[in-house]
Structure 1
Amino acid sequence: MIVISERVHPIALEMLSSYEIYYDPDLYSQRGALLRVLSRARGLIVRNKTQVDAELLAHAPHLKVVGRLGVGLDNIQTDLLSAQGIQLIVPRGANAVSVAEYVLGMLIAFQRHLLALTQQVRQGGWIRDMSGLEIDGRTLAVIGYGATGQAVAQRAQAFHMRLRVYDPFAQVPQTWATSTLEEVLDGADVVSLHVPLTAKTFHLLNEKTLAILPHHATVINTARGELIDESQLLAALTKKQLGGAILDVREVEPPKASDELLGLANVWCTPHIAGLTEDSQIAIARYVAQGLIGVLG
C-alpha cells in the first residue's frame, strides 16, 4: 500500500493506480490515524507538513520508500531513513522555474508599486506614479546556487542585472562568485535566498547581516522562513534601514493576525506558493510517482 498524507496532483494517482492507495490530503493533521494506516504501507508520499520521524517510522515496519512533493527536507529525518534502508525520492529542480519566475515577477511588480497602483485605480484614482524603479543594472545577490538559484540567476541576466552569488558548496561562475556572506550582501540592491534550512543557515539574515545591506535594499525569501530573524527584519524596516521585503515563507506559517510585518506597506507576503504552479506540480508528481514505481516494482 502507498499512503499519501498531503495534497498531490491527480496525475500521481493515475500513475500509481495499479497499487493500493490510501489518499487523504489532510492525514498529516491526524497523527493517530496516520500512524495506524502506516502499518501496511510500503510507500509514503508527503509534502512539508507530515513529520517523518522516529515515531512515524516505528509504525511503518514495511516502509521501503518516501516521496517528497517538494525539495525542502526539514520535516524528514533523512538519517533515520538511511539507517533503515528506506529510499527517499526528492524532485530537485522540478519547481525551480516556478520559483525563479516568482522572484523576478514579484521584484518587478514591487519596484514599480504595481499592487498599490492597482488598488488605487480600483478605488477611483488615476495618479501616475513616476517613482518606480527598473531592475536593469541593479545588483542581485543570490544566496544558494542549486537548481533554483541558478534559474534565478539565468533569468536575471536577461534583465541585465548585475549578479553576485554566494554558495560555498557549489561551482559558481567566477565572474559572479563571492567568498563570504558579507561580501555578497555588501552593496546589493536585492537579495534572494535559495538555501536549505540547517543549523548553519538558521537566521542567516540577522541584525548583523541585515545591517550590511544598503538602506534601499529589498530582501526576497522563497526558501524557508527561519532563514531570516523576522524580529530584526521588522526592526530594520521600521527604522528605514531596509527598503522592503517579499516573503513567500515565514518563521511561523500562517503568520498570526497580529503579525507586524503584515502591516507594513513595503512588505509583500504570499502563502508559500512560489513553487506552486500547475506546471511544477505536474512535474513533481510525475517524478515522485515514477520514483516510487522504480522502488516498489
Structure 2
Amino acid sequence: MIVISEVIHPVGLELLSSFPVYYDPDLYQRRAELLERVATADALIVRNHTAVDAELLRHGPHILAVGRLGVGLNNLDIEALRQRGIAVIVPYGANATAVAEYVLGSLIIFRRHLMTLARHTKEGHWKRDMKGNEVKATTLGIVGFGATGQAVAQRAQALHIRVKVHDPTKTQMIPQTWRSTSLENLYAESDHITLHVPLNTQTFHMINTQTLSLMRPDALIINTARGELVDEQALWRRLTQNQLAGAILDVREHEPPSVPDPLATLPNVWLTPHIAGLTAQSQQTIAEAVAAGVTTALLKAGKTP
C-alpha cells in the first residue's frame, strides 16, 4: 500500500496505479487517521505539511520509501529514516525552472515599477514620468548554488546581469564567469540578492540585523527558499528606515502569516503564498520523478504490483 497524504499531480497517481494506493490530499490534517493509515503502508508520499517524524515511523513499521513532492526536507526526520534504511525520494531540480522564472520575472517587474504603473493606469492615470531601471549590468547575488541557484544564474547571464555566488559546498562547481565570493562581499556588492539554501542551524535567520546592515540601501531581497532564513522583524525595521529598496517574499517565517502582517503594509514588499515552484509543468515533473523513485524502491525491496 502506498499512502499519499497531500495533493499530487494526476500523472503521479497514474504511474503508481499498479500498486494499491490510498490517496487523500487532506489526510495530513488528520494526524490520528494518518497514523492508522501508515500502519500497513509500504510507502508514504508527502509534500511539506506531513511531519514524517519518529512517531509516524513507529506507526509505520513496514514503510520502505518516503517520497517528497518538493525539495525541502524540514518535515522529514532524515536521521530516523536513515537508521531505518528507508529510501527517501526527493526530486531535486524538478522545480528549478519555475523558481528561476519567478525570481527573474519578479525582479524585472519590481525594478520597472510595472505593478504600480499598471494599477495607476487602470485607475485612469497616465504616469509616464515614473521611470524604472534596467537589470542589464546590475549585480545579482545568489546564495546557494544547487539546481535552482544554477538555473537562476544561467538565465541572469542571458540578461547580461553580473552574477556573484556564495556556496562553500559547491565552490569547485562555480564557473569563473559567475564569481564565487564571501557572503559579506555578496551582501555588500549586490543590487539584488536571492536565497536558494536549505533551512538548517547555519542558515536560520541568515538575513538579520547584522547582515542587513551590510547591504546597499538600493538592494532588493528575494526569498523563495524557506521563510525562516529571514528575520522578518529585522527586515521590517530596515525597510521602514528606507535602508532597502524592497523585498519579494514567497515564503514566510510562519505560513500563513499572522494578521495583521506588518510586512504587508509596506508598498515595496511583495508577498506571494509559497508558489514560486508551483507551475503546472513543475508539478507534473515532480510527480513523475517521485512516482518513479518510489516504484523503483519498492521493486528493489521485493514488493511487486
Q: If the TM-score is normalised by the length of the shorter chain, which range does it land in?
A: over 0.9
Spell out, residue by residue over 1:39-86, the C-alpha distance to the aligned partner (whole angstroms, 9 max, x if none): 100010000110000000000011000000000001101111010010
Spell out, residue by residue over 1:159-201, the C-alpha distance to the aligned partner (whole angstroms, 9 max, x if none): 1111100000002123433342101111210000000000000
* SS state at 1:186 partner: helix
Which residue pairs with 1:261 in the alignment?
263
| Contact 1:168-1:179 at 8 Å conserved across structures | no
| Residues 111-260 of structure 1 mapped to structure 2, 5 A cutoff | 111-170=111-170, 171-260=173-262
| Contact 1:244-1:267 at 8 Å conserved across structures | yes
Q: CA deviation at 1:257?
A: 2.0
Q: Distance in 2 between matches of 1:254 and 1:163?
A: 32
Which residue pairs with 2:46 in the alignment?
46
Amino acid at match of 1:187: E
Q: Distance in 1 between matches of 2:278 and 2:117?
A: 26
Which residue pairs with 2:102 in the alignment?
102
- TM-score for both structures, normalised by structure 1: 0.98
Spell out, residue by residue over 1:137-180, the C-alpha distance to the aligned partner (whole angstroms, 9 max, x if none): 11100000000000000000011111100000002123433342
Which residue pairs with 2:85 in the alignment?
85
- Corresponding residue to 2:274 among 272, 275, 285: 272
Runs of 4+ in 1 over 6 A off after TM superposition: none
Q: Distance in 2 between matches of 1:252 and 1:185?
A: 25
* SS state at 1:219 partner: strand
Amino acid at match of 1:245: A
Q: Distance in 1 between matches of 2:112 and 2:177?
A: 29
* SS state at 1:191 partner: strand
* SS state at 1:282 partner: helix
Share of identical aligned residues, percent?
A: 56
Q: Distance in 2 between matches of 1:17 and 1:60?
A: 21
Spell out, residue by residue over 1:106-159, the C-alpha distance to the aligned partner (whole angstroms, 9 max, x if none): 001111111112222222222224321110111100000000000000000011
Q: Distance in 2 between matches of 1:18 and 1:42?
A: 14
- TM-score for both structures, normalised by structure 2: 0.96
Which residue pairs with 1:30 in the alignment?
30
| Contact 1:52-1:76 at 8 Å conserved across structures | yes
Which residue pairs with 1:56 in the alignment?
56
| Contact 1:41-1:62 at 8 Å conserved across structures | yes
Q: Distance in 2 between matches of 1:81 and 1:258?
A: 38
Q: Distance in 2 between matches of 1:179 and 1:271?
A: 31
| Contact 2:227-2:251 at 8 Å conserved across structures | yes
Q: Distance in 1 between matches of 2:175 and 2:54?
A: 40
Report the more deviating stretch, 181-190 or 233-242: 181-190
Amino acid at match of 2:109: A
Q: CA deviation at 1:272?
A: 0.4
Q: Distance in 1 between matches of 2:280 and 2:129?
A: 34
| Contact 1:5-1:45 at 8 Å conserved across structures | yes
Q: Distance in 2 between matches of 1:175 and 1:158?
A: 12
- Which residues of structure 2 form unaligned runs of 5+? 300-305
Amino acid at match of 2:206: L
* SS state at 1:104 partner: helix
Q: CA RMSD in A?
A: 0.9
- Which residues of structure 1 form unaligned runs of 5+? none
Q: Distance in 2 between matches of 1:106 and 1:122?
A: 20
Q: Distance in 1 between matches of 2:80 and 2:129?
A: 55
* SS state at 1:220 partner: strand
Amino acid at match of 1:119: R
